[in-house]
A and B are shown apart, each in its own frame.
Chain A
């Protein structure tokens, strides 16, 4: 596996190479996307060792299931993001972890990830605060529950006793405002 790709591979080409079982393409995929996906996973599961486990499952699943990815339905990144979110959320919801979390008295808040001491990175590089601080409180809450905790919109509506329509528009406004913060016109 010594051959490596230099420069940038556009997603359609990358998908074609992966579907052709090209391992150099897989290397490229990992090098380019593991950081972004690991950030998402770590903020969901909140524990480094478990996040690494999930990341491993994610990349093996991407490799094994790349044939089921359909570019008509959305971007490669969106697909990988949802594979990551789903596996991470499943992990958190699995009983064994829930018990462990209880005994650990883990804090449940994704924004507080900065405070965990077990992480190697410098504190500032972990924060997602900067991006989310500019959202309104209720928009942040919806984003937290739906994006990081994997609640469906109707689950959140029941849990927080907010009408479903409100949950939907709040999520929409959260992402709309996030687009401004991130500079996507």
Chain B
């Protein structure tokens, strides 16, 4: 069997989310023991759900734990429901029918064996087809993502290569000497793009804010988070003499908090 097809079919994700029939579950379990690649993939899927749950955990009220513990003290384990079975009444069949019955049973048997053989053939072909279709879709999906990323890079490249854009280097300040950011600024079209090379991580409550210094006064040029790997379009700025970056509460501020200044750089006049 082809392990890649099997993984691409998405069956392992369904296994982790407890969405398979008993038969499919057994199959996954057997394959997991036979193929380390499948075991490893399964492990990563489990990690993803575990990590997601822990990163988005919410602490329940303290009273819930008390309630559970007091339940434990009092309650017996759940008693399983017992099923009663009706006894099937045995029947006697008249002698006259025995022969006819035997004949029809033989015919049915042969027919069902043949049906079984063909069904298996059809089934395995269908499974193969499903595996290929799934793999095909996964590749198409990955291709789309690459395509989008490429389009982004191409548009970034146009900015970087355009001589009308001035590249302004923003260097770290005393409190964050490591910081490094580039601003691509086109004074005539007033477009501003940001390229973050290095900035420290922020807490959840804060965002970075870009300021353009215009006639000695800081003017808001937009807020941004760190999780960007491409050029970021900021607010339009006309005649800036410098750009600076500060840390502000989420959403940005009207005036910069100068003590949080992370980087600053002058435009070449």
Q: Which residues of B does A touch, CB under 8 Å?
A: 8-11, 13-19, 25, 29, 42, 44-61, 64-65, 67-69, 71-72, 75, 77-78, 130, 133-134, 137-138, 141-142, 145, 204-205, 227
Cβ–Cβ contact A35 & B57, under 8 A = yes
Q: Which residue of A lies closest to B48 (CB)?
A: A179
| Interchain CB contact under 8 A, A37 and B61 | no
Chain A hits for B54, CB < 8 A: 35-36
Which secondary structure dominates where chain B touches chain A?
Answer: helix
Q: How far is the CA of A166 from the CA of B46 in the complex (A)?
A: 21
A74 to B67, CA, bound (A): 29
Residue among A52, A170, A179 making CB contact with B61, cutoff 8 Å: A52
Query: Contacts A63-B72, A78-B50, A152-B19 known; A72 to B10 CB distance under 8 Å?
Result: no
Number of residue pairs across A and B with beta carbons under 8 Å? 146
20 A-B pairs with C-beta separation under 8 A: A30-B65, A35-B54, A35-B60, A42-B58, A52-B60, A64-B77, A64-B78, A74-B16, A77-B46, A78-B50, A82-B17, A85-B18, A121-B59, A146-B19, A169-B138, A169-B141, A173-B141, A179-B44, A182-B48, A183-B51
Interface of A, helix, strand, loop or mixed by DSSP: helix
A171 CB → nearest B CB, Å: 5
Structural contact, A165 and B48, CB atoms closer than 8 A: no
| A56-B71 contact in complex given A36-B53, A121-B58, A153-B19, C-beta closer than 8 Å | yes
Separation in Å of the A131 CB from the closest CB of chain B? 6
List which A120-148 residues lie within 8 A (CB) of chain B: 120-121, 124-128, 131, 134, 136, 146-147
Partner of A178, one of B52, B60, B142: B52
Shortest distance between the CB of B189 and any CB in chain A (Å): 30
A137 to chain B, nearest CB (A): 12
- Do A39 and B58 form a contact, CB below 8 Å, given A64-B77, A75-B50, A182-B52? yes
Alpha-carbon separation in the docked complex, A36 to B54 (Å): 5
Q: Given A39-B56, A56-B71, list of 18 further CB < 8 A pairs?
A: A23-B72, A34-B59, A34-B64, A38-B57, A39-B57, A40-B53, A52-B61, A55-B60, A59-B68, A60-B75, A74-B42, A125-B58, A134-B227, A146-B17, A165-B130, A168-B14, A175-B49, A182-B55
